[in-house]
Copies of this chain bind each other. A is one copy, B any other.
Amino acid sequence: MSYQQLTAQSVLSYLQQQPEMTEFFTDFNQLEVREIGDGNLNFVYRIKDLSSNKSVILKQAVPYVRCIGESYPLSRHRMDFEIAALLNAKHHCPEHVPEIYHYSKDQSLVVMQDLGELAILRGEIIKGKVFPLFAEHISSYMANTLFRSSDLFLSSEDKKAQVKQFVNVSLCKLTEDFVFTNAYMDHETNEYNTALAQSAIDRVQKDPAVKIAVAQMRYKFMNNAQALLHGDLHIGSIMAGPEHTYVIDPEFAFYGPMGFDVGAVIGNLYMSYFSHAYESAISGEQSVAYRQWLLETIQAIWHSFASKFKTQWLAHEAQKQDGYWRFAGAEQALSQYIDGFINELFADTIGFAACKMMRRVLGLAKVADFADIPDLEQRAAIETNIIEHATQMIVNRHNYDSIEQLNLQATRILP
């Protein structure tokens, strides 16, 4: 069937033709379809059985950027990447990826578990909500998806087939432009808070050390096909509740450097940290405690991730027993090799986190944590702190001994 853009009206007749869906929904006369507005790029519908309360989410890509319109074309085949990445992540980390009930590459759509009882993590963090299991969950998600899509786990043949499948030209180009290029120069797509001092903008756009470091991270992004990344793992791509965490929206998936995903999470949490200094749903004592929770979460994410990554690696090598690591002292050597690998991944994480932060302040797409603050002076103070932290991070990314040192730097900027 050739591609057809569904409407709230045609969704039901489409679903009725899919065997998986007629099995899921017993009575199609009881179904309600509602378009839900939170898709920037795509159309998203909730389909609910009013008698049983069972429901699903249908997400369809259109051949343009939905929130801008048909004037900004973007291949609907981005959904091919999203589908393949969802299936892959579901395979390696079922606890933190929604169920996939049905998908169609022809129609550029996927039907998946309704996570309606959960909320987008960014909104919850803005409200000051604490998620005690988040660090544990997201570190598992990253350790599993990154390790198990890499050469450290897959056969050389399987890995290369995956790299080829996930060459994601148009969405990588968006990242190359918006995360690694435009924000660091005078560019028409940039948007600056009018209260932000020129000196803060120049700190990002005219400091030789920052410019060199950003160019290095951009090059690394484009040339290090380490693992199948989510590719856009900010806290708006995560749905969280007290007991569950799910990662959604992997249309930017491609084979890239592992630190890009880890850095996305950590960079976004640092932005939340600085944003909670001023305007927020919580204030005073509570704000300090909440910021403390954010830093502890960053710390826990890194330590849990690194430890789970290493544990998987060691277990895999023990099971492989291929003779390369068989000599007097091999056990210690392997451990040292892994630690060196993780240290480099740590430097990458810091560098990518910094890019994610700087571009949100100066580039096109902001984050609500600070962009929704109506007092522009207050917002500018937050943005300046983010720039300060991020520029130090990227320039010194190889010199931090620990995540605690990075947190310490944040508390020096904002006690």
Contacts and interface: CB of A to CB of B under 8 A. Distances in A.
Interface of A: 151, 156-157, 159-161, 163-164, 167, 169, 172-173, 176, 181, 184-187, 205-206, 208, 211-212, 215-216, 219, 222-226, 323-330, 332-333, 336-337, 340-341
13 contacts: A156-B176, A160-B167, A160-B172, A164-B167, A186-B323, A205-B327, A206-B328, A208-B333, A208-B336, A211-B325, A211-B333, A211-B337, A224-B225
Given A151-B223, A164-B164, A226-B223, A156 B185 contact: no
B337 A212 contact: yes
Contacts of A216: 337, 340
Contact of A333 (B156, B160, B212, B340): B212
Contact of A156 (B156, B172, B225, B325): B172
B215 A337 contact: yes
Contacts of A222: 151, 156, 159
Contacts of A187: 323
Contacts of A325: 211
Contact of A185 (B163, B211, B226, B323): B323
A219 B332 CA distance: 19
Report how many copies the assembly holds.
2
Name which of A212, A330, A340 has the most chain B CB atoms within 10 A of its CB: A212
Given A151-B222, A187-B323, A222-B156, A167 B173 contact: no
Contacts of A330: 208, 211
Given A156-B173, A208-B332, A226-B223, A185 B340 contact: no
A181 B325 CA distance: 11
Nearest 5 interchain pairs by C-beta: A208-B333, A206-B327, A164-B167, A212-B337, A185-B323
A151 to B, nearest CB: 5
A257 to B, nearest CB: 9
A408 B31 CA distance: 79
B184 A324 contact: yes
A95 B157 CA distance: 35
Nearest to A168: B160
Contacts of A169: 156-157, 160-161
Nearest to A186: B323
Nearest to A175: B156
Contacts of A160: 167, 169, 172
Nearest to A209: B333
Contacts of A181: 324
A181 B172 CA distance: 33
Contacts of A328: 206
Contacts of A323: 185-187
Given A212-B333, A332-B208, A219 B151 contact: yes
Given A173-B157, A208-B333, A219-B151, A324 B185 contact: yes
Contacts of A208: 327, 329-330, 332-333, 336
Given A167-B160, A222-B156, A337-B216, A211 B151 contact: no
Contacts of A223: 151, 224-226
Contact of A211 (B206, B211, B212, B327): B327
A204 to B, nearest CB: 11
A185 B184 CA distance: 48
Contacts of A337: 211-212, 215-216
